[in-house]
Amino acid sequence: MTTTRTSTIVMKFGGTSMRDAETIRKSALLATTSAEGRPVVAVVSAMDQVTEHLLDLGEAASQDNRATVYNLMAQVRARHETAAKAIGHGAPESVGAMLDRLDRLVAGISAVGELTPRSKDAVVAVGEMLSTQLMAAAMNCRSFTGGQAGIVTDEAWGKAAPLMDLSLFQLKQTLQPVLDKDSRTVVSGFIAQTQHGVTTTLGRGGSDYTACIIGAALRADEVWIWSDVDGLMSADPRIVPGAKLLTEITFAEAIEMGQFGAKSMHPLALEPAAEHGIPVRFRNTFNPSSPGTRIAVCWLSEPTEHPEPEIVKSIPLLKSAAVITVSGAAMIGRPGTAARVFESLAEAKINIMMISQSVSEAGISLVINKDQAERAKAVLERTLMRPGVARAVTLVDDVCAIAAVGSGMAGHPGVAARVFGAIAKKSINIIAIAQGSSELSISLVVRADQAADAVRVLHGEFIG
């Protein structure tokens, strides 16, 4: 985009910042006061745990499991109605109407006895639609769903890909006049729509992605991601209580961390901000005076204030991973097999997080997200299992991927040896390993029940 930067701040409030009326009010106050007079777009996630409840609700409805449907619906209704009542400003009416719509949607799914990816998105999107109404009431301003604001996607329900140029154009057209007039607005994170106006979702953790897309569209000053931790940490603080706050990291490092599950971030969340040069800051709603983590606008190079960068800055953990191995003696020395593997997965829109090939060339192992594993296996069987190509496609899905991330490891010998030495001392078996050619991370796959230990060992080895 060629437009000049505006002074707008895009702020995303995660589920923990939208837990109840009190945290929503706190978030609304931050949105209206912390930008020091600059225009603000608040992007909101569903209330904490509501996405999970809606996913279960859709599933239970499709099985006509009435007791579960009744319980989940009652929980979702009670939380939103209580918050709406406390917030006021028209929230009870708009929230009530939306909950009634959810009731009808669920009744429809029960009647048909089937939950299609499209209807699943319709159900799960209600979480962000509801929280948006609450935030708009608390901020006393206009609101939009992601689709109304201008984000259009393909029809890959559950993990839809934005049609980026069109979305950026439409977002600017819709939001800029509202900001010029009112200087604040709310947009639902995570949800968008197809070009025909059907609701889609961007994939789990997608609200961060929405915020960065809007930041890019408006050429915002900064994107702030408010959550319940001080910023991006050197590891998940629930696994490593002594995890350290990273005050400044590069986009390349942050994106690598996101790919490996740090903060359950959407793997593409930061790309639009990185591409359009919009700085991103992670901040704590419950400790706003903390400086948070700033993602500096520089690509592979280290931020200048760190003349001696740490070799490894963080140890993210991707919990729901799976390893798929394509094997067969006929693959040895046969050019093009790897290309066919990658092409067929790319066509099926399956993201590969790690690749390793044994030196014998008799097997290629890929690490992918667990929820895409069965589909990936079917695709690979269809395209590769035939005489003279692959003999077997095997799947191990009770695994986690762990990475040691840091741009300081580039050209620094011995990092891999330290990673594997530390893991071996704990007698943890490594299922697969990989290093990206950018030397930004070394990643490994271990059994799920050994993953937390492996993270702690690596954190102790490199970070302390």
CA separation for the pair 127, 284 (Å, rounded)? 22
What are the residue ranges of helices labelled H in 226-269?
251-259
Based on CB atoms, which residue is closest to ligand ADP, 12 or 184? 12
Q: Nearest 5°: phi and psi at 364? A: -120, 125
Q: Which does 51 bind (CB under 5 to 8 A by kind): ligand ADP, ligand ASP, Mg ion, none?
A: ligand ASP
Q: Which does 190 bind (CB under 5 to 8 A by kind): ligand ADP, Mg ion, ligand ASP, none?
A: ligand ASP
Q: Nearest 5°: phi and psi at 416? A: -60, -40
Q: First-to-last CA distance in the chain?
A: 42
Q: Is residue 408 part of the contact set for ligand ASP (CB under 6 A)?
A: no
Are the C-beta atoms of residues 460 and 429 closer than 8 Å to each other? no
Q: Is residue 406 part of the contact set for ligand ADP (CB under 6 A)?
A: no
Q: Is residue 233 part of the contact set for ligand ADP (CB under 6 A)?
A: yes
CA separation for the pair 50, 79 (Å, rounded)? 9
Based on CB atoms, which residue is closest to Mg ion, 14 or 272? 14
Q: What is the DSSP letter of 283?
A: E
Query: Which residue from 39, 147, 150, 205 is in contact with Mg ion, where contact means CB under 5 A?
Result: 205
Query: Which residue from 58, 147, 150, 206 is in contact with ligand ASP, where contact means CB under 6 A?
Result: 206
**16's torsion region: left (phi>0), alpha (psi -120 to 50) or beta?**
alpha
Give the DSSP H or E segment for 447: strand 441-447
CA separation for the pair 434, 72 (Å, rounded)? 42
From residue 244 to residue 273, the character string flagging contacts with ligand ADP as x (rule: CB under 6 A) and all else as - is ------------------xxx---------
Q: Is residue 232 part of the contact set for ligand ADP (CB under 6 A)?
A: yes
Stretch that binds ligand ASP, among 160-168, 204-212, 301-309, 350-358 (CB under 6 A): 204-212
Residues 102-131 interacting with ligand ASP (rule: CB under 6 A): 127
Closest CB 3 distance from ligand ADP, rounded Å = 29
CA separation for the pair 110, 94 (Å, rounded)? 25
Q: What is the DSSP letter of 290?
A: S
CA separation for the pair 339, 345 (Å, rounded)? 10
Closest CB 18 distance from ligand ADP, rounded Å = 8
Are the C-beta atoms of residues 102 and 121 closer than 8 Å to each other? no
Q: How many residues are present in the chain? A: 464
Q: What are the CA-CA distances from residue 441 to residues 124, 369, 408 (Å)?
A: 34, 18, 10
Q: What are the CA-CA distances from residue 118 to residues 105, 201, 352 (Å)?
A: 12, 9, 24
CA separation for the pair 128, 136 (Å, rounded)? 12
Query: Which residue from 145, 207, 320, 337 is in contact with ligand ASP, where contact means CB under 6 A?
Result: 207
Closest CB 339 distance from ligand ADP, rounded Å = 34
Stretch that binds Mg ion, among 46-54, 124-132, 176-184, 200-208 (CB under 5 A): 200-208
Based on CB atoms, which residue is closest to ligand ADP, 84 or 269? 269
Closest CB 210 distance from ligand ADP, rounded Å = 12
Based on CB atoms, which residue is closest to Mg ion, 14 or 261? 14
Q: Is residue 46 part of the contact set for ligand ADP (CB under 6 A)?
A: no
Closest CB 237 distance from ligand ADP, rounded Å = 5
Q: Which does 228 bind (CB under 5 to 8 A by kind): ligand ASP, ligand ADP, Mg ion, none?
A: ligand ADP
Q: Is residue 20 part of the contact set for ligand ADP (CB under 6 A)?
A: no
Q: Is residue 237 part of the contact set for ligand ADP (CB under 6 A)?
A: yes
Count the residues of the shown chain that bind ligand ADP, applying the rule CB under 6 A. Answer: 19
Q: In what order do the strands lie in the sheet with 248-250?
A: 143-144, 184-188, 40-44, 9-13, 222-227, 280-284, 293-296, 248-250
Q: Is residue 150 part of the contact set for ligand ASP (CB under 6 A)?
A: no
Q: Which does 316 bind (CB under 5 to 8 A by kind): Mg ion, ligand ADP, ligand ASP, none?
A: ligand ADP
Closest CB 91 distance from Mg ion, rounded Å = 23
In this structure, is the dihedral angle defined by the CA atoms of residues 443, 447, 450 and 451, taken in order, positive or negative?
positive
Q: Is residue 56 part of the contact set for ligand ADP (CB under 6 A)?
A: no
Closest CB 312 distance from ligand ADP, rounded Å = 13
Q: Is residue 167 part of the contact set for ligand ADP (CB under 6 A)?
A: no
Are the C-beta atoms of residues 464 and 243 closer than 8 Å to each other? no
Q: How many CA atoms lie within 13 A of 168 on its CB side?
A: 17
Residues within the interface to ligand ASP (CB under 6 A): 14-15, 45-46, 51, 127, 189-190, 204-208
Residues within the interface to Mg ion (CB under 5 A): 14, 205, 264
